[in-house]
Every structure is written in structure tokens, then in C-alpha cells.
Structure 1
Amino acid sequence: MRSIFLLIFISISSSGFCQQDTIVIIDFTKVLIETNQNKRISPVTSLDQINRAGFFLNGYKNGSIRICNPEPLSIWTNGQLFEIIKGCQFIELENLMEKEADTVFISLSSQNSLKNLRCELVVFEELKIIKEEISMPRTARDLFQEFLIIGWIILILILGFFIYRFPSRVAYLKNKTFTFKISAYEFINTNFFEGGSIYLTIFYSLGLAFALFYLNFSLSLDLFNSPISLILFLWSWIKTAIVIFGLIVSKWAIVSIVAGLFNFKGLKNYQLFDFLNFQTFLLIPILGLILLDFMFSHSIIGWISLDAVFLFAGSLILFIIWFTLKFVNNSPRKKLMIISYLCATEIIPAIILLGLFYK
């Protein structure tokens, strides 16, 4: 029940905040005139007994006329029927004023009395924060910020689903990502095409692409072309994530081939398993810092600079060092063979990738 009241309160508050302030300039019911039996014009003192009255409209170019009447009401301009309304309606002044005419006579008539008539000249004054936002053209409203908000929603949904669907993988991520020991879990649940690994790869690909986009457009690095619409922004992000996903699949293929040549059985599975865990664990706090930087508009968080680009290289180098130590501590093979294997599967591909990226 409390939740329902909270939703109602938020809805009412939001509608109240977003609405425009209506300012009444003139109440035309105070200046209405009528023509009596002698065809003389006289001011209307009471609307209770009359069903036809009018007023002269001149000197006003901006605003609207708000006309309200519970019964059908005919609106005439200079003797010509303009519209028949019932209830409340706003009519722009420019629609009532005739071309090259400074003065228009507006006549209002109904079958019954006009005692409930409301007729006012009004203008709208928006709240300053809303007026400034709406009046700005879309291109100036920073399309990139709209992309960031949608991107965050997508990433949070994917991460939430991963946490809900694969709790054992999440527990391993939290407790054993940087361990130097090989557990039985790594041999049982490390198939790359197992659901948890695929979803983690999708999240990592989208998250890394998101971080690259943020650094690119925040620091004007020109790594990507500037999209001209929100759809193109999202599509560029997805395409970049697909490329990252493809690189991870290529890494899996290379590791599988080289592990077969060196006769390292089972290594191809937990090597990529460790890579995804390690890189995702480092990526999440980076995304958190990016969120803080975005929320505070660079005014508080000062770490976003050109040096942030080297975080990508740093994460790869840290993984190579950590995995080398882990591999050496848990493998009976000769160190020269281990180093040769790591050069083929980690070091040389990393050098090539970083060389292309920072070129």
C-alpha cells in the first residue's frame, strides 16, 4: 500500500513540476459588450441573462485565448463563424487575427446564457530549468549524454541478469578472481560456450566498448566517428562490442590451437575463464568511476584525462603477469616451455593489439 501511495505522490509531483505556469493577461468577461434592441452598444454587466456578447481584440500578438463554456459555444470573428467549441480550448491569437488587420471583433454566442463563460488572454511561462532545456535544439542537448543514460540502463540490466542467473560464477568472481591456486571449479565450469561465460563475455564487450566511447568523446580522441543521431550512437556502440566479442573468440581459438600443440590439456578453458574474470573485475570499478565522472560533470572527479587511455594496456599487462605466476606455480612443465606458450597466446597477441590501438 505504501508503494502505491509513493507512486501516486511521485506522479503528482512530476506533473506539477513539469507543467507550465499560465498567466492571465486580460479577463475578457470584464470587458464584454452587447448590442441592445436599439442597436446601441453597451457594456455587459451580467452574463446571467444574455446568450450573445463580444469584445474587440487589438494590440495583442503573442499568447492564446482560453475559452471555456460547459455548453456548445459559437465563436465569430468579424461576423464570420470561426469555430464551435464545448468545454475549454486554447486558441492562438495569430489564428484569430486576420491578415493586415489590427483589430478584430470576437463574438461569442450560445443557445442558453453565458453565465459560466470564461474568456481570458493568457501566456505560458515555463519553469526556467524546463524552458532552457526544451528551447535548446536537440543537437545542443548533447546527444552523447542520452546515449550514456541508455547505455547505463542496458549494462545494469545485463549485469543484474548475470548476477541472478549465475550466482556461483558471481561468488567465484568476488572471492577467487586473483587467487594463484587452481580450483576444481575452473575445470568443471570453464567451457567458453557455457552460459555464464557467454553472458560475461557479452557484458565485458559492451562494458569495454562503453568505456572506450566515453573516453573517446570526453577527451576528443577521434577513435570513432561522431554519430549524428541516437540510433547511430547505439549502433556504433554495438558494432564496437561485436568487434571486442570477436577478438575474445579469436583469443579462444588461438589458445585452443596452441594448447593442443603444446599438449596442455584443459588449459584452454580456464585460461580464457581467468581472463574474463580478471578483466571484468577490473572493468566494473572503472565503469563506476565513469558514472561518477558523468554525474558530477567533471567538476569533482579529476581522474578522467589522457592517462586513462592507458588503463586498457595496464589491465592486459597485469593479467599477463598474474597468469604467468599462476601458471608457473601450478604446472610441472619446464619454465621455458611455459614462457614459449605464454608468448604465443598472451604476450605477442597483446603487443600486436596494443600497437594497433595506440597507433
Structure 2
Amino acid sequence: MSRSTRPSMADVAREAGVSGQTVSRVANGRSNVDEATRERVLAAMRRVGYRPNSAARALRNGRFRSIGVIISALSTFGNSRTLDAVSSAVAAEGFSIILMPVTTPSQGEVSGAFSKLNEQAVDGVIILIEQHQLDQSDIELPHGLPVVVIDAGGRRDHASVDFDQASGAIAATRHLLDLGHETVWHIAGPPESYAAERRRKSWQETLKTAGREVPPPFTGDWSPRSGYEHGVHLAGDPAVTAVFVANDQMALGLLRALHEKGRAVPREVSVVGFDDMDEAAHFWPPLTTVRQSFDEVGRRAVAALLAEIADGEAAGAISVPTELVVRSSTAPPG
């Protein structure tokens, strides 16, 4: 084979001592090849310098085996965990992922992201945009590609996957009321967040249904710093005996403020978070919180998208349950 000749599947087959059909299965990411043979073929590919031609494969089978992800606010805990789960689920299906971040979701940015993904030849798109801008009437998601939206808010024009935010917030608020607290204060997430809005509304409705006073919510930005700043105000009010916080990171800031102000948790103030981040079980005291399975959301979103790619039918709205995890940061009032 001359240096100018591109290595072929036949070269790989000869090098590995297998059939061309076996090399094709490995190159296309098929699962019906035993692991030892797969490793032998991959090693042969490396030795002869063969690289599967994804464009040629796509022309043959009508698939690029690539998924695009349009995402905003990558630094937030929920989005980064969800993206990690989507990436793992995509890789497990033998697909690659192309990431397209947007800073301020708008018609121009979203349409531009779609155009770039089309140039990259993807089979479908997952959208992970938490902000309300995605739900504005002037933003239209382009058609022609299968799309699944995570944390979809009010959109109903594409398949969507989201946590049951309402039941999680209700469970957190009810837990504190059932312990005997007269009412529950709330540190909410930013107003542009779908998740923050649903958690805040469910907290309010739960208190109203129970006939309890609804204190004015404090609005944070998901960070421990904002939880601490609001926590300083809450800690100074002796009427505050229970706080539901819209995420664990703000709850961490609240715990610090309560400690610095000499308010014992949970003897004087009970605290519930939301997310069940890995560190929540190691806060002091260990944090009662609402668990969200980001892995499950990632798997369900990828499964819904691949099903739509295969048969053209959108999955509709998929709700993933949440779970209250009770630890040592909540107790009956003093």
C-alpha cells in the first residue's frame, strides 16, 4: 500500500484476520461483535492508519450518528450535571455529541446554533436552555430536525423531558409543615429560570392550601454567596424556624449564615434544599433535600430523541419523578 493510498476496510480485515463485514460492524458501532474481536479490529485500524469515514457511512445508512446539544448557562449545577448525563447516554448508544453554547437565548442565537449544527451534519438536537427566553413567542425552533427540549417550561411544540419540579417543592414544604412549623420561608432561584419559578409557585400554593402565612420569598442566583446574603437576613428574624431553599448550593450559604448568627440547625431553624448534589450528605448538618436523577433525565432525553430519529414520532412531555431525602437538617421546631 503506497503512502498516497487511503487505508481501506479490506486492509483492516487482512491485518486483523477477520471478514470485511466484521470490520464494517465495528466501524459502524454495531453491538453484535464480541469484545475480543472488536479490540482486535480497533488495534488493526490503528496499525494501518484506517479512520472510518463518517460522511460515507451517513450516505449509506442515512445517519450521521451525531447529536447536537444547544445549551445555556453551562456553569450551573443542574445544566452541567444534565449535560454530563446526556453525553454518557449518547456515547452508550455509539453516537458522538456536538456542543453549541448560547449566551443569551434569542431567535438569532438559537437559529444560528441550529444552522451550525446542520453544517456539522447531526441526526437530531437536544436543547438545554433553562431561561424563559426560549418560551417567548418570537423564538421559533427550526423544523426539519428531530428535537427534544429539556426543562421545557410551557413549550408544547417539541418532545420535552423535565423533572416533576412541583411535586418536589410540595414534598419539601409539606415535610416542614408536618414537623410542626407554622410556616416556611423560601430562597428562590433567579426569576428567568423555569425550575425556580415552578418551585416557588408550588411552595406558595402548598402554604396557601394549608392555610398558612406566605412570607415574601428571597430571590437568589443559585450561588452559595446569594444563599449566605439572604441567610443573614433570615437568621436575624426569630420568627424564622423553617426555610425551603431552591437549590443545595444556596442552602450551603444559608447554613453558614445561620451558624455565624448562632441559630442552631435544626434545633432552631430547619433547612431543606433541592438537587441532592453529591456534597449535600456531607454538609453540617447533612442536608435534607429533594433528589433529582440527572442520569435519568439524560437517558430519557436521548432515548426520546433516538426514537424520533428512527420513526419520526415525537414523544410528547416526559416527567421524571423527584424524591425527598430526609437527613439531619430538619426537625420539629425548638
TM-score, with structure 2 as normaliser: 0.25
Pick the structure with more helix per residue.
Answer: 1
Q: Which has the higher contact order (CA 8 A, sep 6+)?
A: 2
TM-score, with structure 1 as normaliser: 0.24
Structure whose CA Rg is larger: 1
